[in-house]
Amino acid sequence: MNSYISTVMNDLKTRCSWEKEFLQAAEEVLDSLTPIIEREPKYKAHKILERIVEPERTIMFRVPWIDDKGEFQINRGYRVQFNSAIGPYKGGLRFHPNVTLSTLKFLGFEQIFKNSLTGLPMGGGKGGADFNPNGKSENEVMRFCQSFMTELFRHIGPDTDVPAGDIGVGGREVAFMFGQYKRLANEFTGVLTGKGLNFGGSLVRPEATGFGVVYFAEEMLKTRGDSMKGKKVAISGFGNVAWGAAIKANDLGAKVVAISGPDGTVHDPDGVSGEKINYMLEMRASGRDKVEDYASKFKGVEFHAGKRPWIIPVDVALPCAIQNELNDKDAEVLLNNGCKCVVEGSNMSSTLEAVRYFVEKKVLYAPGKASNAGGVATSGLEMSQNSMRLGWTRDEVDKRLHDIMINIHNACVTAAKEYGHEGNYVMGANIAGFKKVADAMVDQGLV
């Protein structure tokens, strides 16, 4: 690590010692910026690293709501407006009981580079709450979303900050929040993405993250004269990203042999396809959060309680559940079983040790900020359609999404090569994503 980078990183470790996930994300990015920091002294002169690790603004607020029993409930809400150098803050909202400031700072930080990679004018932000939507009634979810937006609405806007969904926030929650924003602001604008099709949503947005992951995997395999066709694939999770990835993997002729949930992994040697993919949506809508339901419903399926899918021998692994869901031991098991390609659908799926192991073994490995950028890219396309007050066809959106994923892949490959680390998608993604934002920050002066 270069001395400027290690000074900034050590300072951050002192000042944010309790923010473990944020420090992990910062270390991965900063470490890989060594070649560009050494080549371009202007970044140090302009204190770009010190500035880029500090959010422009962090908002934390009380979210009071009343449950179905009439009892008062209090949660903590957040919005981290991390960087607006290249566009309005953009990024999802996560509702999950484990959400802390550290979680949202790591996600907001990742979002800066991811959004830059899409080539669209979007800054980085993230928000959410420590609210657990599982087991809540629809009315409880609505009341929570309304209360959350009652505070958030004054901090966001279509040219200021445009939230979307993430874990625990899907079409239903975005719709409740949109309704409340519209009521408070007295404006119908594209202030959120992932909206319903009847009120400004974009076709393909629900599938976009998972589709993008598989488009990216296909591009990576192409660099080795290979493709997704005939590949055995393990996907973790059964949420929105896993669902989109399962559809596209099937489209490209691969076989998805595993999906997972917090309760364990299902191994389905016949493949998760057809009605089984639709069943992923049913499992999510049930709010039970149990993938074991899949094993009870379909024949020939094994359930591995408490296990993650990385024990199943596959060619391609797509972690699509949550951060740090794949550690160095999992990485070793995967590679020993013949896996050649690991493409992240969740943000920071792999621990730092797992990332280092993949890079060292020269396996095809893509960090989430590159390979899962299709979701936010399609949110960017939703913003464009809202601004133009029109809607594109499914094919038009899908074609743009596909082109964006190809472009991100090329940007990673090119930057990695230019800075002396050919084939390293971590270096490529971080350097390419950073350069555009850092140059915009230099141009805009000390703000």
For the annotated catalytic residues, the residue numbers are: 126
Per DSSP, 251 falls in state: H
Least distance in angstroms from the C-beta of 270 to ligand 2IT: 31
Position 145, amino acid: C
Position 208, amino acid: A
**Sole binder of ligand 2IT in the list 103, 193, 349, 424 (CB under 6 A):** 193
CA distance 235 to 254: 12
Per CB under 6 A, which region of 7-15, 48-56, 84-92, 270-278 contacts ligand 2IT? 84-92
Tokens of 334: 């995967």
Nearest to 366 by CA among 347, 344, 333: 344
For ligand 2IT, give the closer residue by CB, 241 or 431: 241
For ligand 2IT, give the closer residue by CB, 146 or 347: 347
Least distance in angstroms from the C-beta of 241 to ligand 2IT: 9
**Sole binder of ligand 2IT in the list 77, 87, 88, 91 (CB under 6 A):** 91
Considering the rule CB under 6 A, would residue 347 count as an interface residue with ligand 2IT?
yes
**Sole binder of ligand 2IT in the list 31, 140, 166, 344 (CB under 6 A):** 166
Bridge partners, residue 95, by sequence:
129
**Sole binder of ligand 2IT in the list 170, 212, 375, 428 (CB under 6 A):** 375
CA distance 344 to 284: 21
Position 61, amino acid: F
**223: Cβ–Cβ under 8 A, 6 or more apart, which residues?**
364, 413, 423
Considering the rule CB under 6 A, would residue 164 count as an interface residue with ligand 2IT?
yes
Least distance in angstroms from the C-beta of 235 to ligand 2IT: 17
Considering the rule CB under 6 A, would residue 376 count as an interface residue with ligand 2IT?
yes
For ligand 2IT, give the closer residue by CB, 125 or 423: 125
Tokens of 246: 């399962």
Nearest to 222 by CA among 343, 373, 395: 343
Rg of the chain on CA atoms, in Å: 21
Phi, psi of 149 (to 5 degrees): -75, -25
Least distance in angstroms from the C-beta of 329 to ligand 2IT: 26
Considering the rule CB under 6 A, would residue 90 count as an interface residue with ligand 2IT?
yes
Neighbours of 57 (CB within 10 A): 13
Considering the rule CB under 6 A, would residue 128 count as an interface residue with ligand 2IT?
no
Q: Which residues bind ligand 2IT (CB under 6 A)?
A: 90-92, 164, 166, 193, 347, 375-376, 379
